[in-house]
Amino acid sequence: MKNDFSYLFEVIEKEIQKGKIIIAIEGGSASGKTTLSNMLNEKYEATVFHMDDFFLQPFQRTKERYNEVGGNVDRERFLKEVLLPLSKGEKVNYRPFNCSVMSFGDYIEVVPQKLVIIEGAYSMHPDLRGFYGYSVFLDIDEKLQRERILKRNTPVLAQRFFDEWIPLEKRYFNEMRIKEKCDLIIKID
User: Using an 8 Å Cβ cutoff, are 3 and 186 in contact?
Assistant: yes
Q: Is residue 105 part of a domain?
A: yes
- What CATH number is associated with residue 72? 3.40.50.300
Flag residues of the chain having pLDDT under 50. 1-2
Q: How confident is the model at residue 2, as a pLDDT?
A: 38
27-63 pLDDT, tens digit each: 999 999 999 999 999 999 999 999 999 999 989 999 9
Please tell me the distance from the alpha carbon of residue 160 to that of residue 30, in angstroms, as a whole number: 14
Phi, psi of 164 (to 5 degrees): -115, -65
User: Using an 8 Å Cβ cutoff, are 106 and 124 in contact?
Assistant: no
Query: Structurally, how many domains does the chain consist of?
Result: 1
Q: Is residue 144 part of a domain?
A: yes
Q: Is residue 1 part of a domain?
A: no
User: Using an 8 Å Cβ cutoff, are 100 and 52 in contact?
Assistant: no
Which structural domain, as residue segments, surrounds residue 118?
6-188
Q: How confident is the model at residue 1, as a pLDDT?
A: 36
Q: How confident is the model at residue 4, as a pLDDT?
A: 65
Q: What is the DSSP string of 125-180?
A: -TTTGGG-SEEEEEEE-HHHHHHHHHHHS-HHHHHHIIIIIHHHHHHHHHHTTHHH
